Chain A
Amino acid sequence: MNTITAPARPAEAPFHYDSAANREFGFWLYIMSDLILFAVLFATFAVLGRAYAGGPGARQLFSLPYVFAETILLVLSSAVYGIASSGARTNRIFAVMAGLGLAFLLGLGFIFMETKEFYQLIVDGNGPARSAFLSAYFTIVGTHGVHVLLGLIFMAVMIGQVLAKGLTAMVASRLKRLGMFWHFLDIVWIGIFSFVYLIQVI
């Protein structure tokens, strides 16, 4: 017979400001490590960007007005997220929902355009297997796209949490980290449209 009783567990620490600040800083460290991941993909693209293997190059494949539209969708989505951040700070639930909803729809539009672009390239026989240039292109743009998709899932979850729990301290701190992630993806996209699309098309 085991008569030893388990030691009393310390009471759950209440959630307070310090723990939100720690989570924010931890999330910042994650973002910095993700930035290094993207930097390595940029280096790969810089090395392979002109290795067409006899296939089509950037000039034949990319439509700049299309990429410009994608860019505007993403920047607008990032700016609109500011409505949600501001609403979370001033405790206005309607502003939070409006900001999250709009940012979600604009992000969805971006993913839709990118999927269409990838689909067209693959259907035309210019998939990632066509040349080293296209392998590097699909890797870097696809990795960014997967991040945006995860951000959209994060946003959908947060819309549900705001509806179910209201603007508690925990929900507000998650909204802040989601905002950091969303703005970070926009910064990575600046690098992509500059160095993957524009410089290749000159």
Chain B
Amino acid sequence: MEAPRIRAYVFGFIASVLLTVIPFGLVMASRFPRIAVVAGIAAAGTVQVLVHLRCFLAVHTLSDARWNILFLILTALIIILFVGGSLWIMYDLNYRMM
């Protein structure tokens, strides 16, 4: 019962270190095109967040896992509206005031 949880922590730690080394390496090497580096950082960051949710936070083992995940999705939706909307408005404003 307990062994899978410990394995998850060990796996999560190793995966996190790798997913941290990759984006830092991409930037510090400074010989890849900018767009590729940005995509690499975003991809490694997204995967690392998922690894943390699964292995460390273990959302699926919380007492009300379905409700937790439902609210996580709702929060993600609010964040997309807030962040996406703010950036859209600010860049548009910036563009029009040039």
Contact = CB atoms under 8 A, between A and B. Distances in A.
Interface string A64-81: 100110011001101100
Q: Quick one: which of B20, B49, B67, B87 has the most chain A CB within 10 A?
A: B20
A73 B45 CA distance: 17
A184 B72 CA distance: 12
Interface of B is mostly: helix
Interface residues of A, number: 44
B52 A190 contact: yes
Interface in B1-20: 2, 5-6, 9-10, 12-13, 16-17, 20
Nearest to A75: B16
Nearest to B90: A47
B27 A64 contact: yes
A187 B49 contact: yes
A24 interface: yes
B34 interface: yes
Interface of B: 2, 5-6, 9-10, 12-13, 16-17, 20, 23-24, 27-28, 30, 34, 37-38, 41-42, 44-45, 48-49, 52-53, 56-57, 62-64, 67-68, 71-72, 74-75, 78-79, 82-83, 86-87, 90
Contact of A202 (B16, B38, B44, B68): B38
A198 B13 contact: no
A25 interface: yes
